[in-house]
Every structure is written in C-alpha cells, then in structure tokens.
Amino acid sequence: MKRTLLAVSLAVAFGAVPAAYAQTSPTPDTSTVASPGTTDGTDAGKTSATRNQPSKVKQLGAIDVNAALDQARNSLSPDTGSSQYVIDQKAIQQLPLGDSTPLNQVILQAPGVVQDSYGGLHVRGDHANLQYRINGVIIPESISGFGQTLDARTIQSVKLLDGALPAQYGLRTAAVVDIDTKSGHDLGNGGSVGITGGSFGTLNPNASLWGSDDRWSWFVTANYLENDVGIENPTASRTPIHDHTNQVKGFGDISYLIDDNTRISFMFGATNNRFEIPNNPNQTPQFGYLDTVDFNSANLNERQQEQTRFGVLSLQGKWGKTDYQISAGQRYTHVGFEPDEIGDLMFNGVASTINRTNRADTLQADFSTPLGDSHTLRYGIYGEFERGNISNNSLTFPANPDGSQASTTPIAIYDATNLLARTYSAYLQDEWSIGDKWTVNYGVRGDRYELFRTESQLSPRLGLVYQATDSTTVHAGYSRYFTPPATEVIDDSNIARFNGTTNQLPSGGNNLPLSERSNYYDLGIQQQFGSTFTVGVDAYYRQVSRLQDEGQFGAALIYSNFNYEFGRIRGVELTANYDNGPVSAYFNAAYNRAMGKRVITGQYNFSPDDLAYIYDNYIHLDHDQKLTSSGGITYSFTNTTRVGADYIFGSGLRKDGLVPNGESLPYYFQLNLNVAHDFTFDSIGTVKTQLALINALDRTYELRDGTGIGVGAPQFGPRRGIYLSLQKDFSF
C-alpha cells in the first residue's frame, strides 16, 4: 500500500469536517435480521427516524468513552440492502456445547449454511470464500480454514452478512463473518476457568481473564482440546482408527484510551493443531514396494500439523464528525503433511511430504462522515501483501507408457514454489435516508490482484431498504463482485516432473486459477408480529464468470482451486425467530442450486472423460445441497435452569453418478439435546454446568462418499456422544 494513498485518505477524512468534536449518530440498521434464540438483534419494528436518533454520552469515564467508540466503530460497517443473521452470546450459550461449540458449528445455525468435511462451510452455494472480521478488522483466512482458529468464548456477537453487500465488503463475498469480541471494560475485573469432557476421549480445559484499569482494558482467553475424532471418520464405525487430535488456541485484545476520542488496541491470536489422518481399513494396495506386496490400511500413519497466528494494531476514534479506524496486521499460517511413506506409495503410487506457508501483511483504513441529516459517506482502502512458499518432497514409482508400475523401487522428486501476491482495494459509498421509509446505499469498489498476472475490476453496488410499516421491512440489492483466488491454496507445482511416473496426472492444462467475476441479485422481506415473533424470506441469484471451486486432490487435507468458465447459483431462504418469556426458538430452511460448466483452470486434476462432459454440460458443484435446515428451542425454568434442543438437516452433498456429481448422498438429520443448571456452593460460589447429548438418535450419515469432483475420501458425521461442561467465573 502506497503511503501517499493513505495520506490522501486521512487528509480527506480529517479535512472534510470541522475539527471540533461532535458526537455522531449511530448507523441505522435497515437490513434483514434474525437471531437464534433472541430478538435482541433486530430493530425492524422501528422507523428510520427512530433509528437515526443520536445517542448522548454525558459522562466521559473510561466505560462511557469505550461504549461511544464501540458504537462509532459499528457506524463504519453498514449492511444496508444485504441480509444479516445475528447470533449473540446468549444464543451461543444455549447451544448444546455452549461456549465450547466450535465456531463453524455456531455459524452452521444460520440460514443457507451447509456443513462439509474437515469443518468446512458453504454459504449460498459457494465454496469457502468467507471473509472474517474481528471488531471491524479483516483477518485473512488461513490455509486450513480460519473458522477453526477462533474460539466461541471470545464472541460477544457474530453476524453473518451475505447477499448484495455494500461497496465496503469485497474480495471474499460468499459471506462476511463479522465478530464483536468481549471486552474487559464491559465485563469488569475477573475471569473464568472451566472444562468440557466426554465421549471419544474429549478433554477441553479453558481459561479467560478480563478487566480494566482506568484507560486500559483487556480480554484474553486460551483453551486446549484433545479427542479421538479430530477429523471425520471415513467409516460408519463408532470408533475411528488413528484419529487423535491435539489443539491449542489463544486470543487476546488489549486496548488503551489515548483521549476521549481516540483508542489504540492490539489484537492477537494463535492456533497450533495436530491431527492424525484417520484410516479406512480393508483397502487393497495398488502398487508393490520393493519386496512388499501387502499393507494393512488400518496401520497407515499419516499426520498433519496446522499453525495460524495473527496480530493487528488498530487506531480508532473520531475527528470532528468523522469516525475512523486504521489497522495494520499480519497473519501467518502453515500446514505440514507427513505421509506414511511405504503405505502411501502402495495405495496411491506417491508419498508426498508437503509444507505450505503463507504470510499476509495487511493495511486497512475505514472512514465514515455524515453529510447533513440525510447522507453518510463511507470510504476506505485495503492492501494485502502475501508471500507463499510451497514444497512437495515426493516419492513415486517409474511407470510404463500405459501407466502401469515399471519398478518397485521409488524415485524422489522435489518441487518448490514461491508466490508473491499483492491486493489493492478502495471503496466509496453513500447511505442516503429519504424520509422515514426509504434508505438507499449506493457506491463503487475497485480491486486489483497481482500474482503472475494482474487482474482488476470496478464494481458498482446498490442497496435499497423500504420500511413499509413499523413491522415490515423490504430490502433489495445488486452487487458486482470480484473474487481473487485464495493465494494460500494456489499450487503452482510443475506437473510435468511427474510424467512417466505412477503420479502422472490424468490431464494437462492451465494450473493458475483466475479471479471470479459475478453479478449478485438479492430480494428479501422481514415481518415482525408483535415483539416476540419475526419471519423473513430472502431470494438470491448469482450469475458467474470464471466460477471458483476447490477440491482435495491428494491425501493431504489441503485444497487446490480451479475455475469453471460459467456458473449460476440461485436459492431461497426462510427464517423464523421467537422469543417470549421462558421460551426462545428459531427455524431456518433454505433451497439452493449451484451449477458450473467447462473447467478452464486446474484441468490436470480431472479425467479426460469428466473434462469432456463438463465442457458441454452444466453439472452440480460438489458442495451443492438442495435443501438445508436448522433450528432449536430452549425453555428456561428459572434463571439458573434450562433445557434445549437443536437440529441440522441436509438433503446431502453430491456424489458421482452417470455423470460427474450427478447424484446426491442420502439426507441426514442430527438432533442435539442439552440441559444446563447453575449450582451455588457456600465455599466457591456459582458453578455453571451443561450436559449435552450430540446426535441423540445416533443416526449414521455420510457427508462424503469419496466420489465427486475434488473429494479425497469418504467422511461420516459424528456418532452419539455425551459431554459435560463445568465453568466457574470469578471477579476481583
């Protein structure tokens, strides 16, 4: 990012208004909102005039100033015309595993979110392509999937934004996972310690510490997890073979109030996860190794290690009427795959030791300036500089011209690639309030991506919200999207080096993915019935050029990306939310169709027959699931005792049939139950307990069957498990 560009942006922001301090009004929340288990996240029943009332902060103590700055930060991130789903801390605690719930399982309770293997998520027919923001700051996704890096214990609330997003949001556009973290100035001085344990050798202790002292505040948390089902079981058995995991996660946020209008904060996180790759017994070796002709696949010893760490320094505050937040950060991620050399050679014809690292340096600056009573101008810049290193140290066998094994003595092939990618983005948008009924958000965004080639796009955005009545809100939007390939999963290997070996790829072709370009249309309506019941319907259509997809084309749990020339995605979502007295409930249902045609990059991963069929025909994307639903209900007997249940349902991901991805796997239904009670003891005070029964019906279901484009192995959903959580908060 050029310094002159940042200087100009700051000059515009700080020079556009008088230097005298003025309290800004919060941004009107005019998008569709639903929240599992609570209606606190929506104000659709209010008029625009009500939402535009300025807040008044009379005291300027540390807590008041932090609250005002938090509110100002929210005004930097509009969602006008898009769809949003809010899951707050209360809703997370009502999930069966409460704060021990992995982040991907939290997001899975939102509409249109489909679960996949290895903790993967698909939103509205897209593969990954999620943008993670923490307190308004973009954190680039890691190689292994950033959703497993964060801990739900850090979350105060999380919004899933999708649909036709305003110009502020770009690059990763399937959905924005926008997280507001807990803070010490809200919680007081104290902390929490606890443990979750149960089936499959699960042990998950955790500890958090928070507090504030004058102008300082802090929140830090860490936890350790181990169990014997680190990755989905490739068989239907209750006990997977060779599937132990050890995971360590930590997060912290420390802030300091420079003055009543300015705050500086440092946010950091780290993850170190180790996995055994689970085995599928009774497989037949395809190759011989020296004098060995047999190998028990249950004894394979493949392992993978994943590391992610990030740090962000942010300056946030007000200058005159302008809110701003400027952040500089770095994210480092590494994945290392260790094969079982003899076993992998005998089953796959290749054994590769794979190491991938990616370091991303980022600069982000966002500004919001009100212009009169009807307009709010928002503008900003973003820069990302990435260095990626890929090394593949492979053993493979010589092959005859027909592909058969020519020798049982392996040969070594080493391949390494260094990637250097740059991303530059800028946006300008105006939120225009027209009376009490209409809000228009229009703007434009420019993105430029450089890696081997340079690609760019200027993307217009338009969002409309109509407050038909105090209880009825209609929104519509159009967005032009530009989505660069995920640099961290680009594999620029020299595939020609494996010609004449048992690892020769089935086809040639271009191995450098292209940026995706699409037109996104979204239309939705939300209706409130009183103060307790809310229903929303949302429809979307996406017309795509150079549709991006990813697949697992080897033994390592690392994805590679490729492009279809054409794509079309459409769907409808229904949400319902009820919260009245002791009962809270939510229900989501979604229909989706995601199709692609003509593979134009990464063809070497496909068989010639598949390529020929896809060239002339649209096929279902491998992650396309026609019907998806989730829901839950909680009943609170008292403030200290509650019971609850939730479920997920899917009509099944794709598998091969007569054509690639031509059939669906069987539908699945998973029911989870829980009961929670707070015990109070004279000696130690209150201890929170929660007992969870996951997959209470013990229904065996398959997420993947090992067939389909880019599907590496079969994976099954979790079997029945029982887990107990104990948590003790303390203060000082």
pLDDT band at 509 (very low <50, low <70, confident <90, very high): low
The token pair at 545 is 């050029």
Please check whether residue 731 lies inside any domain of the structure.
no
Buried b (16+ CB within 10 A) or exposed e, 3-14: eeeeeebbeebe
- Over the stretch 233-291, which tens digit does the pLDDT of each residue have? 999 999 999 999 999 999 999 999 998 889 999 999 999 999 999 999 999 999 999 98
> Does residue 346 carry a pLDDT above 90?
yes
The token pair at 59 is 């005291």
Residue listed under structure tokens 């939402």:
51
Q: Residue 481: which of 720, 173, 274 has the closest Cα?
A: 173
Question: Which structural domain, as residue segments, surrounds residue 619?
Answer: 3-726
Please check whether residue 562 lies inside any domain of the structure.
yes
Q: Residue 326: which of 131, 138, 70, 60 has the closest Cα?
A: 138
Q: What rounded mean pLDDT belongs to the chain?
A: 86
- Over the stretch 444-479, which tens digit does the pLDDT of each residue have? 999 999 998 899 999 999 999 999 999 999 999 999
The token pair at 7 is 């200087």
Please check whether residue 122 lies inside any domain of the structure.
yes
Q: Residue 452 region, left (φ>0) first, then alpha (ψ -120 to 50), else beta?
A: left
| Count of domains for the chain | 1
Higher pLDDT: 681 or 58? It is 681
Summarize the confidence of residues 398-406 as an average pLDDT: 90
Type of residue at 373? D
Higher pLDDT: 19 or 348? It is 348
- Over the stretch 487-496, which tens digit does the pLDDT of each residue have? 877 766 677 7
- Over the stretch 647-682, which tens digit does the pLDDT of each residue have? 999 999 999 999 999 999 999 999 999 999 999 998
pLDDT band at 66 (very low <50, low <70, confident <90, very high): confident
Q: What is the pLDDT of residue 5?
A: 41
The token pair at 420 is 């250097």
Please check whether residue 732 lies inside any domain of the structure.
no
pLDDT band at 694 (very low <50, low <70, confident <90, very high): very high
Q: What is the pLDDT of residue 597?
A: 95
Please check whether residue 275 lies inside any domain of the structure.
yes
Type of residue at 625? Q
Output the domain CATH number for residue 552.
2.40.170.20
Q: What is the pLDDT of residue 58?
A: 40
pLDDT band at 145 (very low <50, low <70, confident <90, very high): low
> Does residue 51 carry a pLDDT above 70?
no
Q: What is the pLDDT of residue 18?
A: 33
Please check whether residue 8 lies inside any domain of the structure.
yes
> Does residue 12 carry a pLDDT above 50?
no
Q: What is the pLDDT of residue 229?
A: 93
Q: What is the pLDDT of residue 709?
A: 82
Number of other residues whose CB lies within 10 A of the CB of residue 214: 9
Q: What is the pLDDT of residue 32?
A: 41
